[in-house]
């Protein structure tokens, strides 16, 4: 359903490809509202287009099949796995913070159309180091609390029951990490469980993009409805529009 409210016909961006690329949906919520748009915005957004790998980021959320499945038949998308990437360009963006939450340059959410099986696997793999200590503690606690075992342990050393619980938590975390690693290896055969190994992320990296969070594990957020506002969320058709100053560009957009 089209809920775009592009009402500010006075805006210098109204009806341009830049407006469509920014994809703010509603003039009332656009950070440029009431301001005379900096002409450099057109150059910035032209640059943004050239920094797109083939197919643009839109191909990930517009895909009719799961983008994380490796083998056919690929699953039907039921949600989106969001992975943020940032670019050092444009250098002068610090002055135009409305384009990016980062001070360095462009930021874009990669929205991988994801089937329920891939989602379940990613969540299980990331939660295993947390689940295992809880399970092991729940197994250890009845032993520690059983009077007969507790007494035997206390006779050996007063701190032993406590040490058993701590060992279950710490050991459980280690076991969980190992299980998580093994599970990831198993899943890698038929899905991109670590999105950083996805060919599209590699293509982005070649264009100078980097993960927003440079951690050892990929930060993914899942959402049922795709993010549909802001830079990098415009449909593929927008990138194909002729260059700027195209009258009523938004009329040609199909979502
Ligand atoms: Zn899948």
Going from N- to C-terminal start, the domains of the chain cover 17-115+194-252, 122-187
pLDDT at position 77: 97
For residue 122, how far is its CA from the centre of ligand 1 (angstroms)? 10
For residue 187, how far is its CA from the centre of ligand 1 (angstroms)? 11
Asked if 25 and 228 count as a contact pair (C-beta separation under 8 A), the reply is yes
Q: Which residues of the chain have pLDDT under 50?
A: 1, 94, 102, 245-255
For residue 69, how far is its CA from the centre of ligand 1 (angstroms)? 4
For residue 36, how far is its CA from the centre of ligand 1 (angstroms)? 44
Return the SS3 of 58: helix
Asked if 96 and 35 count as a contact pair (C-beta separation under 8 A), the reply is no
Asked if 149 and 102 count as a contact pair (C-beta separation under 8 A), the reply is no
For residue 133, how far is its CA from the centre of ligand 1 (angstroms)? 28
Angstrom distance (rounded) from CA 204 to CA 196: 10
Calculated CA dihedral for residues 95, 96, 100, 106, nearest 10 degrees: -80
pLDDT at position 97: 55
For residue 238, how far is its CA from the centre of ligand 1 (angstroms)? 27
pLDDT at position 92: 64
Angstrom distance (rounded) from CA 106 to CA 97: 10
For residue 70, how far is its CA from the centre of ligand 1 (angstroms)? 8
For residue 114, how far is its CA from the centre of ligand 1 (angstroms)? 5
pLDDT at position 249: 41
Region label for 25, one of left (φ > 0), alpha (ψ between -120 and 50) or beta (otherwise): left
What's this model's pTM, rounded to 2 decimal places? 0.82
CA distances (Å), origin 136, targets 93, 126, 131, 158, 205: 50, 17, 9, 21, 40
Specify the pairing of strand 107-115 against strand 221-223: unpaired
pLDDT at position 145: 78
Angstrom distance (rounded) from CA 126 to CA 115: 17
For residue 168, how far is its CA from the centre of ligand 1 (angstroms)? 34
For residue 65, how far is its CA from the centre of ligand 1 (angstroms)? 8
For residue 82, how far is its CA from the centre of ligand 1 (angstroms)? 14
Q: Please, what is the angle between helix 116-145 and helix 160-187, to 10°?
A: 160
């Amino acid at each position: 359903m089209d809920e775009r409210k592009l009402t500010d016909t006075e805006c210098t961006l109204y009806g341009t490809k830049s407006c469509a690329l920014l994809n703010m949906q509603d003039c009332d919520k656009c950070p440029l509202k009431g301001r005379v748009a900096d002409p450099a915005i057109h150059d910035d957004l032209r640059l943004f287009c050239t920094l797109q790998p083939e197919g643009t980021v839109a191909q990930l959320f517009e895909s009719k099949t799961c983008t994380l499945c490796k083998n056919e038949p690929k699953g039907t998308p039921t949600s989106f796995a969001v992975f943020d990437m940032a670019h050092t360009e444009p250098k002068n963006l610090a002055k135009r913070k409305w384009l990016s939450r980062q001070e360095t340059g462009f930021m874009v959410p990669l929205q991988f159309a994801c089937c329920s099986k891939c989602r379940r696997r990613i969540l299980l793999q990331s939660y295993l180091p947390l689940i295992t200590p809880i399970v092991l503690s729940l197994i250890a606690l009845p032993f520690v609390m059983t009077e007969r075992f507790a007494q035997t342990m206390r006779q050996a050393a007063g701190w032993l029951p406590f040490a058993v619980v701590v060992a279950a938590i710490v050991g459980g975390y280690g076991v969980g990490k190992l299980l998580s690693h093994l599970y990831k290896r198993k899943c890698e055969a038929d899905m991109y469980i670590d999105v950083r190994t996805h060919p599209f992320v590699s293509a982005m990296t070649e264009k100078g993009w980097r993960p927003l969070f440079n951690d050892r594990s990929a930060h993914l957020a899942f959402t049922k409805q795709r993010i549909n506002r802001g830079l990098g969320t415009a449909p593929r058709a927008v990138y194909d529009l002729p260059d700027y100053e195209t009258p009523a560009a938004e009329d040609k957009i199909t979502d």
